[in-house]
């Protein structure tokens, strides 16, 4: 072999050969990339066409959606708004009641939301356990109530007392004063009692209830049943035994339980509790019967449950959870209201808008296209989040309310929300 064969030129030949071999691979990869781009473009076109078709169908169905919500406020007697916190539930409840007043009905909205946002939205300094009338440009009547848990409990005690002085003994009892506002589930059950009272009041055609955040709202639904179960429970009978003079008849284990409770909470506290149960004796049947009536009212065809959500992933998950619980109780969702939606300014996909922005890079129009692409991306993601929930509550109408320019804090703001809810915007 000549020395030249070992020179720099010879060492380059294998690389040249490798380059020749790589050329077909690069060409093939280029063709593959082009094919993938073409497929992606076809897929994007297909998605764009599907999205456009879905939105066109939604626009065509909009009158029926708004009509469905109108039927609720003009035909039902009770509307219960449920959902997680911070989704505009209180505002939605107030708007539904106001729309009923616009239709000539006598409507009252009840809130058990301690934030008292309802009073602010209605322009009231404060509302209490007695309905307050709100003046406005409507042919019907609009009233508002803020639940007073203890006040409602007091009213029940007075109603179901079976003898003179019984109610006074209970209301003055220290054990009662402690549990009447703080016992778990008391607020939810008293809300049901207030709902029942207002429904039975011939002065109102519609009662709209703004519930606590959705996981607590399950207590709202289950409270009547839980009260009945407690009054039928063996533990309750044990606690009532000393008041009925049958403590000796209670078994040894029950007596041990009573002594243990007395040691834990203190003799004075336990004596107060015994005095309470002694005063309560004979009233439980009235509470049980009322609880059954309340439960029947919740499942009545005249009652509608409106689920309120926002398009965020977390709040949609909460809404789906609550919809599941309603389904387990054989209670359908009558309508789904989704607040604070980003508007759809275009049916174009974000990718296509960004590509257009690149062709106009450095111009004001290019910046506008980038903003439009961002809006399209957010709006698309919101619809993706809602897709499963909307299917879950079918055939309930789904009403979308967009972001407003300012927060709702008065009747004018409520009117703007009403225009979107009922198709006037």
Between strands 132-134 and 333-341, the pairing is unpaired
Are residues 35 and 162 located together in one domain of the fold? no
**Phi, psi torsion values for 135, nearest 5 degrees:** -80, 145
Structural domain of 16 = 3-46
In this structure, the answer to whether residues 42 and 180 fall within a common structural domain is no
Residue range 183-223, pLDDT digits in tens: 556 667 777 778 888 999 999 999 999 887 655 556 666 76
Q: Is 41 in the same domain as 110?
A: no
Q: Are residues 25 and 132 in the same domain?
A: no
pTM of the model: 0.73
135 and 27 in one domain?
no
Instruction: Summarize pLDDT for 218-271 with one digit per residue, the tens.
Output: 666 676 666 556 555 555 555 555 544 444 444 444 455 455 545 544 556 556
User: Is-contact 420 401, C-beta < 8 A?
Assistant: yes
112 and 230 together in one domain: yes
CB atoms within 10 A of CB 20: 9
pLDDT in tens, 396-418: 999 999 988 888 888 888 999 99
Q: Are 274 and 243 in contact (CB under 8 A)?
A: yes
In the DSSP assignment, the letter for residue 86 is T
* Cα four-point dihedral sign 32, 37, 42, 47: positive
Q: Give residue-wise pLDDT tens across range 82-112.
A: 888 889 888 999 999 999 999 999 999 998 7
């Amino acid at each position: 072999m000549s020395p030249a064969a070992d020179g720099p030129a010879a060492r380059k030949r294998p690389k040249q050969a490798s380059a020749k071999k790589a050329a077909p691979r690069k060409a093939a990869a280029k063709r593959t990339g082009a094919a993938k781009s073409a497929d992606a473009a076809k897929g994007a076109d297909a998605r764009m066409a599907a999205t456009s078709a879905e939105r066109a169908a939604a626009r065509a169905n909009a009158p029926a959606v708004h009509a469905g919500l109108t039927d609720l406020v003009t035909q039902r007697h009770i509307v219960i708004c449920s959902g997680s916190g911070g989704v505009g539930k209180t505002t939605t409840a107030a708007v539904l009641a106001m729309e009923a007043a616009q239709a000539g009905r006598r409507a009252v909205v009840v809130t058990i939301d301690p934030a008292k946002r309802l009073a602010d939205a209605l322009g009231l300094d404060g509302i209490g356990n007695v309905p307050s009338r709100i003046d406005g440009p409507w042919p019907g009547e609009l009233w508002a109530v803020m639940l007073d848990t203890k006040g409602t409990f007091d009213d029940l005690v007075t109603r179901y007392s079976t003898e003179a002085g019984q109610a006074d003994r209970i209301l003055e009892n220290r054990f009662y004063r402690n549990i009447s506002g703080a016992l778990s589930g008391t607020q939810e059950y008293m809300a049901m009692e207030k709902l029942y009272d207002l429904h039975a009041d011939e002065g109102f055609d519609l009662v709209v209830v703004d519930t606590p955040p959705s996981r607590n709202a399950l207590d709202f639904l289950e409270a009547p049943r839980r009260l009945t179960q407690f009054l039928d429970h063996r533990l309750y009978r044990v606690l009532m035994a000393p008041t009925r003079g049958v403590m000796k008849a209670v078994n040894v284990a029950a007596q041990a339980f009573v002594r243990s409770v007395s040691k834990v909470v203190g003799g004075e506290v336990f004596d107060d509790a015994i005095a309470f149960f002694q005063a309560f004796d004979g009233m439980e049947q009235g509470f049980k019967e009322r609880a059954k009536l309340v439960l029947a009212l919740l499942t009545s065809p005249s009652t509608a449950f409106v689920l309120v959500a926002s398009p965020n992933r977390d709040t949609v998950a909460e809404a789906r959870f609550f919809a599941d619980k309603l389904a387990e109780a054989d209670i359908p969702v009558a309508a789904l209201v989704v607040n604070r939606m980003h508007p759809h300014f275009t049916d174009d996909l974000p990718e296509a808008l960004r590509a257009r922005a690149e062709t106009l890079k450095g111009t004001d129009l290019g910046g506008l296209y980038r903003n439009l692409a961002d809006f399209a991306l957010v709006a698309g993601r919101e619809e993706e989040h809602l897709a499963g929930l909307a299917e879950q509550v079918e055939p309930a109408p789904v009403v979308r309310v967009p972001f407003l320019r300012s927060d709702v804090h008065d009747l004018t703001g409520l009117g703007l929300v009403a225009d979107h809810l009922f198709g006037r915007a």
